Homo-oligomer: A and B are copies of this chain.
Amino acid sequence: MGSFTPKSFAPLDPQSFSDESKAVVDFIAEYYRNIEKYPVQSKVQPGYLSEKLPDTAPYAPESLDDILKDVSESILPGLTHWQSPNFFAYFQANASTAGFLGEMLCSGLNVVGFNWISSPAATELESIVMDWMGKMLKLPSSFLFSGTGGGVLHGSTCEAVVCTLAAARDKTLEKLGGSENITRLVVYASDQTHVTVKKSAKLIGITKSNFRVIPTSFSTKFSLSPENVQAAIEEDIKAGLVPLYLCGTIGTTACGAVDPIMELGKIAREYKMWFHIDAAYAGSACICPEFRPYLDGVELADSISMNPHKWFLTNMDCCCLWLKQTKFLVDSLSSNSEYLRNNASESNSVVDYKDWQIALSRRFRALKLWIVIRKHGLANLMYHIRSDVDMARRFEALVVADRRFEIVVPRKFALVCFRLKPELESEGSKLNRKLLDAVNSSGRAFMTHGVVGGRFYIRVAIGSTMTEEHHVDDLWMLIKEKAQNCSYSN
């Protein structure tokens, strides 16, 4: 051990807090200014960082300057730059100054609002913001606190799905009268549903063979067919199984497909199943009247979730979950312990969000979403969605105008799915993988891929906060440039 001897130290001294925080603000602002200089997808090799950093913690303190130097020299080269305007991969995680300010306040106040009394403002602001957001999406009042429902902020869609699945499971097991019935419960989703639903079902103890993956196809633009869902349910009932949970998606990850919410909702009602709507990506768009029709039928759902941390200018992490009958969530997730007992909770006049989520502890995420909404206003938030969709439309038109390319699945939001047309269908995958690799390895843009109906294609998700029209045009130029070298024979 070193020879450093600590004296009294003040890890939260307001003056050095202020000075050092401002240095980091400058560091991040400079990062944003230079962000286009980095290769979008990191070019490091596995294990690169362990060669740069010591393998044990330092004994003596180190300076912020030294730490920021290491961030610049060792961390930044190993990042894939999600905030780059040339990031078109997965779905974006669009940060904003407003979201960042909210995160700062959340982290600076550092309260742990597990129940109302532990910080009433954290609970009450969350309930208010959930109603604001629900009203922006024109959710029925049955999902709002001002109506008969309510909402909560989770960290991820997966958490929202795990919690609603558990609520549905416990409600149904109670009705069936025995926990051994857990092996009879069946969950339904499509082959386009996010993999998180399958993972969540497994996590809460649904038998692996009781997770139904309903196939979709080009004929429905990869949206779930109500007839196929109903047929699967009928078959399971005949086999003595119990339909539990159906997940419909608004804006699937692979290709942005939208499931028919109204029809699925009717089926779920008929069979008394829990119906959850996963609007993680495209839920944000539904604040615009022109996209709101995708939500028609939401009144038939039991729960709906969407992620402001994707397309709503809200820094990670933030997932909104609304429920109609919050009682079932609380029944399944509540926990009581003597040290948490307090008059407010026992009066039943307050929300204790620990009973609406997996963990006991929780961050004050509502500040972030509240500031995002206020600093932009609904007007600018709609403007933001529409400008991304316009850019995607522009990109789509460029693809369509070039006869070497084709759109694979029609665009609905700001995700464009396209490919180089192969001479032989069997070569499509190889050809487009080559193009994708060429673009990504250039460092000038980063896209990912999908496969639907056996067809490999390239996904361009537009929506990084700093992306402007010229970035989209540059991307298209880059794709065309790289496509030159992707001859069909190679």
Contacts and interface: CB of A to CB of B under 8 A. Distances in A.
Contact of A361 (B60, B77, B179, B317): B317
Contacts of A158: 358-361
Interface string A265-302: 00000000000000000000000000000000000000
A199 B159 contact: no
A484 interface: no
Given A159-B359, A379-B5, A64 B101 contact: yes
A485 interface: no
Interface string A55-83: 11111111010110001001111111111
A56 to B, nearest CB: 5
A246 B254 CA distance: 41
A21 B97 contact: yes
B13 A97 contact: yes
Interface stretch (A124-132, A224-232, A322-330, A396-404): A124-132
Given A42-B121, A375-B64, A31 B358 contact: no
A212 to B, nearest CB: 16
Contacts of A27: 105
Interface in A149-207: 155-159, 162, 166, 169, 179-180, 182-183, 194-196, 198-199, 202-207
A439 to B, nearest CB: 15
A338 B459 CA distance: 12
Interface size class of A (residues with CB under 8 A): 35 or more
A394 interface: no
B361 A61 contact: no
Contacts of A380: 6, 9, 11, 61
Interface in A6-24: 6, 9, 11-18, 20-22, 24
A57 B67 CA distance: 40
16 contacts: A9-B383, A11-B376, A18-B25, A21-B97, A24-B104, A46-B116, A57-B373, A62-B377, A75-B367, A79-B119, A82-B110, A90-B112, A93-B361, A112-B316, A179-B208, A198-B335
